[in-house]
């Protein structure tokens, strides 16, 4: 297993970069969101393509080349103690072939994002780096939700103070028991889309799964694809987060339980992780202990040094 690498925690006065490796940002939302980061004593610099929009493909924040260049520049620049993604959307997988992950991997710094950013988390976690699945720089609603904002700050600045990653919202027991291993995963659709690509990495440990705008039959299809591929073979436990904006009522929860309960591994459902206003930041790549019977997820060491 790749050695665990925990970047230095943030301190007031640190400079962080904001990148948009997927969808374009709205300037007004970015301004509101980064105010929270500045209130923590951080200096924030926005990379050039973050506010761009690709002319032909307006769902992308500038060209693949520009987004990749900005991410590389932010990651390799020693002035930046951390890199925050502005938003998700779609586009990270398009720029991954333009990044030299062997060049980026030795650098240790805080990295924050979720949703489409799962594709970057997967690649960095596979190289041992601890990253943060949590609210992004233009996620105004999530940063405006005090429990989620407080969690993100605590995880980044005072990681030893975070002792239960599921608190304060909690989660429901689906299959009881305990499991240990590195916390991995993220957005279900992105994890399934990674299968067969050069950045695919089969998880070994506890996985967290979330998604948005995926109805019951599509969640079934995605989970079935992962099951058939052997993706869950070394998974020790499952944390199911929010599956937002589905018009199926409780069907998605039933589908997830029906597909994953037969694995017989500890599992909780309903964790406040994902696309709702309350999105609790969690450290991907970090060793954790899931007590599914008690509904707790405990870091086995602070996320950052």
Is residue 115 flagged as an active site residue? yes
Question: How far is residue 150 from each of residues 36, 279, 304, measured CA to CA in Å?
Answer: 11, 11, 16
In terms of C-beta distances under 8 Å and separation of at least 24 residues, what long-range contacts does 37-43 make, across chains too? 37/84, 37/137, 40/10, 40/12, 40/153, 40/157, 41/11, 41/12, 41/13, 41/14, 42/10, 42/12, 42/13, 42/14, 42/15, 42/16, 43/13, 43/14, 43/15, 43/16
**Four-CA torsion 98, 104, 105, 107, nearest 10 degrees:** -160
* Catalytic position from the list 210, 214, 246, 276: 210
Quick one: tokens of 276? Answer: 């709702």
Q: Are 24 and 61 in contact (CB under 8 A)?
A: yes
* Catalytic position from the list 115, 122, 214, 276: 115
- DSSP, collapsed to helix, strand or coil, labels residue 153 as helix
Q: Are 134 and 155 in contact (CB under 8 A)?
A: yes
Is residue 275 flagged as an active site residue? yes
For 76, the enclosing helix (H) or strand (E) is helix 64-76
Distance CA 239, CA 179 (A): 11
Distance CA 24, CA 170 (A): 33
Is residue 28 flagged as an active site residue? no
Distance CA 130, CA 183 (A): 9
What is the residue whose two structure tokens read 């996620």?
139
Q: How far apart are the first and last CA of the chain?
A: 20
Quick one: tokens of 220? Answer: 């079934």
Query: Annotated catalytic sites, by residue?
Result: 115, 210, 275
């Amino acid at each position: 297993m790749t050695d665990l690498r925990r970047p230095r925690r943030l301190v007031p006065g640190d400079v962080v970069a904001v990148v948009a490796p997927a969808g374009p940002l709205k300037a007004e939302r970015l301004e509101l969101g980064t105010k929270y980061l500045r209130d923590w004593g951080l200096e924030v610099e926005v990379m050039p393509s973050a506010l761009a929009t690709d002319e032909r493909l307006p769902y992308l924040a500038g060209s693949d080349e520009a987004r990749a260049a900005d991410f590389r520049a932010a990651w390799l620049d020693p002035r930046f103690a951390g890199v925050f993604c502005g938003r998700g959307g779609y586009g990270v997988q398009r720029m991954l072939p333009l990044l030299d992950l062997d060049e980026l991997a030795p650098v240790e710094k805080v990295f924050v994002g979720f949703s489409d950013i799962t594709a970057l988390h997967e690649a960095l976690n596979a190289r041992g780096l601890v990253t943060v699945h949590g609210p992004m720089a233009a996620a105004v609603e999530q940063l405006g939700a005090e429990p989620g904002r407080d969690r993100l700050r605590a995880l980044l600045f005072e990681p030893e103070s975070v002792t239960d990653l599921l608190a304060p919202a909690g989660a429901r027991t689906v299959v009881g028991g305990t499991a240990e291993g590195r916390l991995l995963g993220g957005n279900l659709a992105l994890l399934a889309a990674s299968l067969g690509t050069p950045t695919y990495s089969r998880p070994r440990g506890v996985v967290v799964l979330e998604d948005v705008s995926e109805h019951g039959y599509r969640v079934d299809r995605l989970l079935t694809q992962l099951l058939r591929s052997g993706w869950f073979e070394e998974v020790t436990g499952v944390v199911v987060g929010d599956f937002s904006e589905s018009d199926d009522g409780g069907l998605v929860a039933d589908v997830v339980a029906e597909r994953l309960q037969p694995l017989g591994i500890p599992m909780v459902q309903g964790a406040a992780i994902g696309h709702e206003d309350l999105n609790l930041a969690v450290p991907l790549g970090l060793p954790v202990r899931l007590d599914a019977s008690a509904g707790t997820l405990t870091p086995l060491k602070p996320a950052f040094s």
